[in-house]
Amino acid sequence: MDPKEFYLSRPWLAYYPQGVPADIEVEDISVPALFDRVAKKYEKKDALIFYGKRITYRQLHEDTDRFATALADMGVSKGDTVALYLLNCPQYVIAYFGALKAGAKVTPISPVYTSKEVRHQLQDSDAKTIVCEDILYDNVVKAEVVLENIILSSIGDYLPPLKKIFGKSALAEAYGGKKIPTTELKREAGLHDFRTLLKNYRPEPPAVSIEPSKDIAALPYTGGTTGLPKAAILTHSNIVALQRQTTAFWPIFEEGKEVGAAFLPFFHIYGQVVVMLSGLVQGSTLILFTTPDVEEILNAMEKYQVSGFYGVPTLFEYLKEHEKTGRVNWKRLKLIACGADTLHESTVSDWERRTGTRILEGYGMTETTAVSHSSPYQRPKAGSFGVPLPSVMAAIVDVDGQSFMPAGEVGELILSGPNIMQGYWKRPKETAEAIMELEGRRWLRTGDLVRMDEEGYFHFFDRKRDLIKYKGYSVFARHVEEVLYKHPQVKAAGVVGVPDPKVGQIVKAYVVLQSEARGKVSEEEIMEFCRKNLAHYKVPKIIEFRGELPKTDVGKVSRRELREESLEA
């Protein structure tokens, strides 16, 4: 069959779980309206449990209305941008939905950003209002951006009395060594207090007309792996579509009956859409964590009978060896999913051996509203991140993006569907590079090198920018890392290409050894291990031992920073 026709035939549909449709209808509804409908239906049910503090859907719905009313009174109107510079907490959820109810769009800012990075996002997103954790306020001041409204929030406002008194968990870890603005400073600087706003304003949000397919709901920023971070434009329809797609693909979940562990950061598209939004528009109860304290999470999973667990590779790598992982009956869970990076084969096998369960991989980007592919729960395939969600078309094209590659061959993954972003905010050049027309369809170029097998399952190879060219050979950084992770004394690894005028690029590996192996295992020993397990041109020519490797906000090894370090060296 012609490659194009093979992709358009969607061979993956044959392996969908029973009852899952090939396509979904995107309801013409805004994100806050979708939430309101569910909140009224399950008003007596717990929406959030925050270190023992229970918040019902009725209370959460009322607080989002109060916050929307307050924002409108401050002058926030349709089309404005509200920045959320918060840790995971009830205020995050309230501010998110409240801002949307006021007609604004939200732009989540990473709590680990420096003042310089905060300044870039505030200015680039045109934000005039920010909801800020009190311990992060100093970074806002140093950003030196003129803002019309600064609303300060405190984690402690929603913690139970005993948590506040003893300063455990979230409070102690988050506030350790941080300065909190005094009442006098708040007054002098004209700052608003989040809790006071909810107390003083009635739940009477403004009547805002939202056109879901056109109006922007969120401006989440990419990780900045190439240059400054840029925002993906996500409309209300993009987000609603993703909710319908995931709900359809996972019929094992029952509306109003599930419990999720919400520890992934909400500022990241994964935690924001897959955990927070998906949970709350399906009537689930979210066990909310400000910091990913493993012991707190494991204890809560059994206490509250969590039914869905979403993690990242570094977390599963840690949990597979953690002494208390066995406290959880993992076989009871309906889903154990991994995203945000590629799982190493050793992590998967060790996890299965430890828990007797399977981690199901998925794939997505900020530009796809978090997800485009997921592993069918009844038929996962080792080494694959699964198949496209309902209404998602996926294909592999050559590097020029002009012709479809036959099944089994590696090329760039392109995607089309209702969850694909509208473009990059104020970046027409980058938008033109990322969005293309092919065979009468609008496609997103992902920049990821992938192959599709004959059954329609997709397999990740590497990012295009992480492909290493050595003497004309193509070396996938991920393949070298997979081999390094199989060495019993290697704890972590990152592989990059170092420019060289004679061969193009030299393969360099940054390696973190297990603590007991440090000073005992040599660079040559690691190279010899690679020689036995890799083609000669893939073997790293440089090994550099490190105590730790730079990580992105969601815990994956930052090859960008390693590349920059190697260039400086």
Q: Report the top-level CATH class of 3-25+237-462.
A: alpha beta
User: How far apart, in whole angstroms, are the C-alpha atoms of residue 58 and residue 40?
Assistant: 7
What element of type H or E holds 217?
A: strand 216-218
Q: What is the pTM of this model?
A: 0.87
User: How far apart, in whole angstroms, are the C-alpha atoms of residue 233 and residue 219?
Assistant: 5
Q: State phi, psi for 330 to the nearest 5 degrees.
A: -65, -25
Q: Which residues of the chain have pLDDT under 50?
A: 168, 225-226
pLDDT of residue 226: 47
- Helical segments of 206-365, H only: 236-249, 269, 278-280, 294-303, 313-319, 345-355
496-534: per-residue pLDDT in tens? 999 888 888 999 999 999 989 999 999 999 999 999 999
- For 265, other C-beta atoms within 10 Å of its C-beta total 26
Are the C-beta atoms of residues 515 and 525 closer than 8 Å to each other?
A: no
Half-sphere exposure of 338 (CA within 13 A, CB side): 26
- For 336, other C-beta atoms within 10 Å of its C-beta total 19
3-state SS assignment for residue 185: helix
The ranges of the chain annotated as CATH 3.40.50.12780 are: 3-25+237-462
User: How far apart, in whole angstroms, are the C-alpha atoms of residue 221 and residue 85?
Assistant: 13
Are the C-beta atoms of residues 221 and 230 closer than 8 Å to each other?
A: yes
Give per-residue burial for 52-64: e unless 16+ CB within 10 Å, then b. Answer: eeebbbebbbbbb
Integer CA distances (angstroms), 335 to 20, 32, 298, 307, in order: 16, 26, 16, 7
3-state SS assignment for residue 11: helix
- For 425, other C-beta atoms within 10 Å of its C-beta total 23
What element of type H or E holds 37?
A: helix 31-41
The ranges of the chain annotated as CATH 3.30.300.30 are: 471-568
Strand-by-strand arrangement of the 46-50 sheet: 53-56, 46-50, 285-288, 259-262, 308-311, 335-338, 360-363, 373-374, 387-388
Are the C-beta atoms of residues 565 and 531 closer than 8 Å to each other?
A: no
Q: State phi, psi for 447 to the nearest 5 degrees.
A: 80, 10
The residue behind tokens 């199901």 is 360
Integer CA distances (angstroms), 439 to 8, 11, 401, 411, in order: 11, 19, 11, 18
Q: State phi, psi for 133 to the nearest 5 degrees.
A: -65, 135
The residue behind tokens 């440089």 is 542
pLDDT of residue 185: 81
Given the candidates 3.30.300.30, 3.30.1330.40, 1.10.150.120, 3.30.465.10, the CATH classification of the domain at 471-568 is: 3.30.300.30
DSSP letter assigned to residue 231: B
CA torsion angle for 65, 66, 72, 78 (degrees, to 10)?
-20
pLDDT of residue 6: 95
Residues 6+ apart with CB under 8 A from 177: none
Q: State phi, psi for 116 to the nearest 5 degrees.
A: -65, -45
Integer CA distances (angstroms), 123 to 82, 116, 228, 451, in order: 12, 11, 13, 39
- Indicate the residue type of 42: Y
Q: Report CA torsion sign: 474, 475, 477, 478.
A: positive
The ranges of the chain annotated as CATH 3.40.50.980 are: 56-209
Nearest to 150 by CA among 206, 74, 42: 74
Given the candidates 3.40.50.980, 3.90.1560.10, 3.30.460.10, 3.40.50.2000, the CATH classification of the domain at 56-209 is: 3.40.50.980
User: How far apart, in whole angstroms, are the C-alpha atoms of residue 386 and residue 389?
Assistant: 9
- For 140, other C-beta atoms within 10 Å of its C-beta total 23
User: How far apart, in whole angstroms, are the C-alpha atoms of residue 361 and residue 194?
Assistant: 38
